[in-house]
């Protein structure tokens, strides 16, 4: 069950469909070899076109890329379809004197946070957006300072604004007896900063208001003017638990700009490492769910499995979190085939242990009582918010970039995309277990069918141009937009991560459930604050 993979209109038919409706108001270019359709339109039809793609043609919103060019603003709205739908980029230009853009968030709610982010970082105003300001940049940032503008000098300190003593958080619930329960922003252990205001008049949470970005690091700004090799380091370090996936997305974008094809062996090794990362990530996420429900023994047992995988990764690659493997043109080191076959056998042994723990958890009523029918998100709301990854697939959205925008040879791999319908914490847990099993299956396939040959290309020229790189990261769809200048250095780097996408919809799961359910619901989402605060 779940979302059919063939519901989106085929990409080849899209220009005719669009042209028949908007005629001369929109210019459409089709690039079949890149499974890409680019549409140029004015602001007066922007909302209509985006609404058509999202609501009628069933494309999903991926990212909003803003470019601050010398004489104009260039806004790129990126959508992606189901199998055969490809990617669609809608380009909209504004003169530098303009700052007002129509908001698409009322029709495409998945763009809500992306517009708020662009308003904070670039100073653009999205007309009719219900809530702008106080988002990425917290109250210590002076008004009118937009760190992604070209004139902003990131090497110079800016004058911090004093926090107003009378400042109060936004309050939505006004009923008699209503109060606000703050959670965070400081936590014990390794969790990074995030603040949640839970509003209630009793035990159930009525409204959840998240506030993240306490550690906004400006990765996109830092990347400007840097070499490709330098930015690979940024790509794999802003989210250590998904380092391989993010560096792969960046490298694929650069490779597409250069017009080079990675060797087949390198593609296979990239798949193997990506699935090793996914397998380890999902086991860690399952351990987090067990910990949130105070299941100390299974938490310890599953954490041991995670540690085994981290040690395997370090022994194999030299780094526990697979840093330093992806390079433009392939992968940095080759591996002995027999070692990789032994790795696949070891992964299967770990999977057997994991499945044994799964069976015990599935028959633990005290554990299931905390997950079943808790933190539920319907499929309709998951679609509206553009949720991705295991969170979306637990609510019936089966879309997976390894299938719908296949890359690195995934089209040759036999695997299924697990999907559940209930949308609750238990459904999210089952998806994690099933995806871990599929990752072990993929690792076995690849390890026992590796092609021979080189694992990287000889040195090649880095040319100017732009492209979108994407991966199905452990937490879901990740998009890396890369633009290279005439000097071959990065002129614009735009990251859209699955944690940023899914934190937007987290409140849907947390509302209308009891206070004590909050940490468990958060654990079933398995999101990263660091990946959001990029």
Confidence of residue 15 (pLDDT cuts 50, 70, 90): confident
Q: What average pLDDT does the structure give for the chain?
A: 91
| Domains of the chain, residue spans | 11-127, 179-211, 219-532
| Distance from C-alpha of 491 to C-alpha of 534, rounded to nearest angstrom | 17
- For residue 155, the tally of other CB atoms under 10 A from its CB is 4
Q: What are phi and psi for residue 41, nearest 5 degrees?
A: -145, 165
> Which three-class secondary structure state does DSSP give residue 410?
helix
Could you tell me which of 151, 154, 46 has the C-alpha nearest to residue 100?
46
> Architecture of 11-127 per CATH?
2-Layer Sandwich (3.30)
440-492: per-residue pLDDT in tens?
999 999 999 999 999 999 989 888 999 999 999 999 999 999 999 999 999 99
List, in order, residues 6 or more apart from 412 with CB less than 8 Å away.
Answer: none
**Under 8 Å between Cβ of 121 and 146:** yes
Q: What's residue 5's pLDDT?
A: 37
Dihedral sign from CA coordinates of 297, 302, 303, 304? positive
Q: What's residue 427's pLDDT?
A: 97
DSSP state of 54: I
Specify the pTM.
0.94
> Which three-class secondary structure state does DSSP give residue 364?
coil
Residue 364 tokens, joined: 């633990």
Helix (H) or strand (E) holding 484: strand 476-484
Q: What are phi and psi for residue 280, nearest 5 degrees?
A: -65, -40
Residue 519 tokens, joined: 């940490």
Residue 464 tokens, joined: 């100017």
Burial class (CB in 10 A: 0-12, 13-18, 19+), 126: buried
Residue 453 tokens, joined: 């040959």
pLDDT exceeding 90 applies to what percent of the chain? Answer: 71
What is the CATH T-level fold of the domain 219-532, as seen in this structure?
Answer: Cytochrome-c3 Hydrogenase; chain B (1.10.645)
Helix (H) or strand (E) holding 273: helix 264-292
Judged against a pLDDT cut of 70, whether residue 1 lies above it is answered with no
């Amino acid at each position: 069950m779940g979302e059919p993979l063939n519901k989106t209109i085929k990409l080849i038919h899209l220009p005719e469909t669009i042209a028949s409706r908007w005629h001369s108001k929109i210019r459409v270019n089709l690039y079949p070899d890149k499974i890409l359709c680019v549409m140029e339109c004015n602001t007066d039809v922007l909302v209509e076109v985006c609404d058509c793609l999202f609501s009628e043609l069933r494309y999903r919103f991926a990212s909003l890329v803003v470019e601050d060019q010398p004489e104009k603003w260039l806004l790129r709205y990126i959508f992606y379809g189901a199998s055969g739908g490809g990617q669609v980029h809608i380009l909209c230009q504004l003169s530098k004197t303009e700052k007002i853009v129509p908001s698409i968030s009322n029709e495409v709610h998945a763009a809500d946070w992306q517009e708020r982010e662009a308003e904070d970082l670039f100073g653009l105003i999205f007309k009719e957006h219900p809530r702008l300001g106080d988002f990425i940049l917290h109250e210590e940032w002076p008004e009118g300072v937009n760190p992604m503008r070209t004139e902003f000098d990131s090497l110079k300190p800016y004058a911090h604004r004093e926090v107003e003593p009378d400042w109060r958080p936004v309050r939505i619930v006004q009923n008699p007896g209503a109060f606000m329960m703050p959670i965070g922003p400081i936590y014990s252990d390794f969790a990074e900063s995030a603040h949640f205001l839970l509003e209630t008049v009793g035990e159930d949470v009525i409204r959840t208001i998240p506030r993240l970005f306490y550690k906004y690091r400006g990765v996109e700004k830092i990347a400007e003017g840097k070499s490709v090799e330098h930015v690979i380091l940024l790509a794999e370090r802003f989210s250590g638990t998904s380092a391989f996936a993010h560096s792969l997305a960046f490298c694929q974008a650069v490779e597409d700009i250069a017009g080079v094809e990675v060797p087949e062996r390198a593609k296979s090794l990239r798949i193997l490492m990506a699935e090793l990362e996914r397998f380890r990530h999902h086991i860690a996420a399952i351990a987090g769910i067990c910990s949130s429900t105070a299941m100390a023994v299974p938490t310890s047992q599953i954490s041991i499995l995670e540690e085994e995988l981290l040690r395997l990764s370090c022994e194999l690659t030299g780094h526990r979190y697979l840093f330093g493997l992806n390079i433009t043109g392939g992968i940095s080191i080759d591996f002995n085939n027999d070692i990789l076959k032994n790795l696949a056998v070891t992964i299967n042994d770990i999977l057997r242990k994991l499945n044994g723990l799964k069976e015990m958890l599935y028959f633990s009523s005290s554990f299931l009582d905390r997950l079943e029918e808790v933190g539920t998100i319907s499929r309709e709301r998951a679609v509206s918010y553009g949720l991705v990854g295991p969170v979306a697939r637990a609510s019936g959205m089966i879309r997976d970039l390894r299938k719908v925008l296949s890359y690195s040879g995934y089209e040759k791999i036999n695997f299924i995309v697990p999907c559940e319908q209930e949308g609750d914490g238990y459904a999210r847990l089952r998806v994690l277990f099933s995806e871990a099993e599929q990752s072990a299956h993929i690792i076995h396939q690849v390890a026992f069918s590796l092609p021979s040959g080189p694992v990287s290309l000889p040195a090649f020229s880095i040319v100017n141009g732009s492209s979108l790189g994407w991966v199905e990261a452990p937490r879901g769809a990740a998009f890396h937009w890369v633009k290279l200048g005439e000097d071959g250095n990065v002129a614009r780097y735009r990251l859209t991560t699955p944690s940023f996408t899914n934190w937007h919809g987290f409140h849907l799961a947390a509302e209308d459930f009891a206070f004590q359910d909050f940490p468990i619901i958060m654990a079933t989402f398995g999101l990263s604050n660091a990946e959001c605060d990029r």
